[in-house]
A = this chain, B = another copy of it.
Amino acid sequence: MRLENDLLLRVAQGAEVERPPVWLMRQAGRILPEYRALRAKLSGFKELVETPALAAEVTLQPVDILGVDAAIIFSDILVIPEAMGLTYEMIEKKGPSFPKTIQSQKDIEDLIEGGDAASELTYVYDALALTKKELAGRVPLIGFAGAPWTIFAYMVEGGGSKTFSKARKMLFREPELAHALLEKITRTTIAYLKEKVKHGADLIQLFDSWAGILSPALYKEFAIPYLRQITEALREEETPVTVFAKDAWFALRELDALPCQVIGLDWTQNPADLRKLLQTDKAFQGNLDPCQLYAPGEKVAEATKKMLATFGKKHIANLGHGVYPDTPLEGVRAFIQTVQAHRY
């Protein structure tokens, strides 16, 4: 199906566009009263993730209500560990928690992996297909997954952490075990993302949320090779890929060398400096500080214009991280409208 608004894909493919496309990480979520109303009727977060009609509904909300230039399927990066055999719970105000974690070779051997694991996630593929149908070509649909290191971090640590010291400990004490787990996560993620593309994802984003807690040497050893495997596997699909490795300022050359089309930037990055440094043709995505949207609308507009000037062309406008749940809609709308009024 031909897309009415294909700005996102054109930028990812390196084509000229009249203005940057704009969407927000976590746009399908608690910033919208319509989301909160639906969510209040449910038993929990996972019911929403696992019910295709509901996931599709909240995926469409920001397209309908905010007019963003892309939809991103409502889901969670932790469906992958779950499909591999580690169930998680989403605890209100605390975040994810895994009753069972990966500690030994036996734990890794017991995991389901690859296509077998990916085939557990039909609810995600159904949600994609349904969303795609309901979008009716208005905007592209983004599919996503966690990067292997980030998924590994949750599977070993058992939940969120300031330091992820248990997960990092395995890299130092049992590097072969760590690689074995990362391999399984990677094979599963590839199978999963290929299914996502098959069911309607127009672009894939990989989130390496915990990239910044690894040293450059560890990131090169335990993260980059698996991102490479995934991005190379996705080349066959001809679907563009965005890699967003938060706080990985020290690995940008390595990220740039991956066969992906877009690099996501957090708000500590200066895209103009980075464009010069990397001499890259890739598009950049980002990177307004999510807290900027707490400011009054006119201040948001001003900061957004400044950001657009720093990026220049080859830019997908977004925040530098997921939008915070208590962000006022005034700030969100000012951000989106300022980008959409921009012309190169």
Could you list which residues of chain A lie within 8 angstroms of chain B, going by C-beta atoms? 160, 162-163, 165, 168-169, 171-173, 212, 214-216, 218, 247, 249-250, 267-270, 289-292, 294-296, 299, 320-321, 324, 326
Contact = CB atoms under 8 A, between A and B. Distances in A.
A103 B162 CA distance: 25
A212 B268 contact: yes
B215 A267 contact: yes
Contact of A249 (B214, B249, B289, B324): B249
Contacts of A247: 212, 247
A173 B295 contact: yes
A269 to B, nearest CB: 8
A290 B165 contact: yes
A167 to B, nearest CB: 9
A289 B324 CA distance: 30
B250 A291 contact: no
12 contacts: A163-B290, A163-B321, A165-B290, A165-B291, A172-B291, A172-B299, A173-B295, A212-B212, A214-B268, A215-B268, A249-B249, A250-B268
Nearest to A295: B172
A172 B327 CA distance: 12
A268 B216 contact: yes
Given A215-B267, A299-B172, A165 B289 contact: no
